[in-house]
Amino acid sequence: MASGSFSELDAALPELERRYLDLHRHPELGFAEHRTADIGARALRAAGCEVTTGVGRTGVVGVLRNGDGPTVLLRADMDALPVREQTGLDYASTQVVTDESGEQVPVAHACGHDMHVTWLLGAAEVLGGRRENWAGTILFVLQPAEERGSGARTMIEDGLFDRFGTPDVVLGQHIGPMPAGHVFTRPGLTMSASDTVHVRMFGRGGHGSRPETTVDPVVMAAATVLRLQTIVSREVAATDSAVVTVGALNAGSKANVIPDEAELQLSIRSFTEPVRQRVLDAVRRVVRAEANAAGAARDPEVTVVESYAPTVNDEAATESLSTRFREVFGEQRVHPGPIVTGSEDFGEFSVASGAPSVFWFVGGTDEQRFVTASEAGTVDQDIPSNHSPQFAPDLHPTLSAGVKTLVIAALHHLGG
């Protein structure tokens, strides 16, 4: 594809729009994306892919083979959020579902994953129709449960790379509250790592008047909280950074009863994989050592309940793709991206496969509206961001822009 022309996309646009509106009206929570997966599987088959469903529970993989060449993985996440949509759009979600804990919750595509699915399926159609332009293999990955931080890993543990091939490059994109049709790329670190850790420390309860007959988990937990604060100050280099927050500490229910156990909930943020591992190892070590110091008879339980690897873009691949984006979209529509403090499990595909990855953002906010808010200094108040009940991407040119970025990125690695 020398020119970056997308004449076939104009014809496909009404169908893309119809598909997006349908997905938007029918959001599904993580690992419950049955309808979305079914729509995705059928569209990938129609584009010429060999399709496998049920990969990592509700994940879908479409393999498009076209002779010898590199393997490119394109990823879109499918899940929605337990949010009551308040956009006022005529296609707003009114869905209420039963979540895994049995509670009734409203559901909405407040993070724009419906757009991601639409983009990926649009790209599959374009690439399937342009086989004379490229050679190699494309893995189209529809991932479940990104918002739970476990969908990528579930697919990997279900043999994603063994069954469908190890990619040479991993590519993905996210919609954001930036001007529609604009693209934001950042070499290196682009999103932080996040780990949520639950800790249970076991003592031996008894009467508050006779502590010598007990192992007091309240004192054990209190000492642990203070000692955990030395991880960042004493074990992380001044030139690195991390956060260890104990956001919940629960033990006991009465002044004169020493309880049996204490529970801590930690939120950990880090920006590189080595620092992340060092902090997690230190948390385990400190918790175990404090339990030992208190004479606990039973080892504490440390469980990572949610985790997102840092999203780190390969420097060379990102620079080279950004140059290509600028050639197609123009200098004024391709910008350096910020480090996003949110987290994504996209990075897992790169970490597990060893392949370089590039993850970029595509704006979804009406450009004039963004400029007006920007000039007034009110972007944060006036432009609803991802996860807001008011998050409502503009359809055009957002729909076509994200298809183009994926197609351009795939062809960039497949000789097009």
At closest approach, how far in Å is the CB of 78 from Zn ion?
10
CA distance between the termini of the chain = 5
Q: Which stretch binds Zn ion (CB under 5 A): 110-118, 127-135, 193-201, 217-225?
A: 110-118
Give the x-and-dash track for 292-331 against Zn ion (CB under 5 A): ----------------------------------------
265 CB burial (10 A radius; 0-12, 13-18, 19+): middle
Q: Which residues have CB under 8 Å from 130's CB, separation 6+? A: 1, 8, 416
Query: Looking at 21-29, 103-111, 121-129, 209-217, which segment touches Zn ion (CB under 5 A)?
Result: 103-111
Task: Give the binding-site size for Zn ion (rule: CB under 5 A).
Answer: 1
The contact mask relative to Zn ion for 60-99 (x = CB under 5 A, - = no) is ----------------------------------------
- Of 375 and 380, CB closest to Zn ion: 380
Task: Report the nearest approach of Zn ion to the CB of residue 393 (Å).
Answer: 12
Considering the complex, state which of residue 250 and residue 390 has its C-beta at the smaller distance from Zn ion: 390
Chosen residue from 108, 111, 139, 383 binding Zn ion by CB under 5 A? 111
Q: For this structure, is 79 an active site residue?
A: yes
Helix extents (H) in 192-246: 217-230
Counting beta carbons within 10 angstroms of the beta carbon of residue 186, is it exposed (0 to 12), middle (13 to 18) or buried (19 or more)?
Answer: buried
- Residues 80/107, Cβ–Cβ less than 8 Å: yes
Neighbours of 47 (CB within 10 A): 21
**Catalytic residue selected from 79, 147, 216, 348:** 79
If the CB atoms of residues 111 and 251 are measured against Zn ion, the closer one turns out to be: 111
- Min CB(172)–Zn ion separation in Å: 10
Phi/psi-derived region of residue 182, left when phi > 0, alpha when psi is between -120 and 50, beta in every other case: beta
Catalytic residue among 28, 125, 146, 261: 146
- Residue closer to Zn ion by CB (options 25, 387) is 387
d(CA 388, CA 81): 10
Q: Kindly tell me which of 72 and 117 has the beta carbon lying closer to Zn ion.
A: 117
Closer to Zn ion at the Cβ: 81 or 258?
A: 81
Distance CA 345, CA 145 (A): 9
Q: Which residue has the tokens 């620092």?
A: 275
Contacts of 275 by beta carbon, 8 Å cutoff, 6+ apart? 236, 240, 241, 242
Interface with Zn ion, residue 115, by CB under 5 A: no
Q: How far is the CB of 399 from Zn ion (least distance, A)?
A: 17
Tokens of 336: 């350096």
Distance CA 362, CA 371 (A): 16
Considering the complex, what minimum distance in angstroms separates the CB of residue 311 from Zn ion?
11
Active site residues: 79, 146
Which residues form the interface with Zn ion (CB under 5 A)?
111
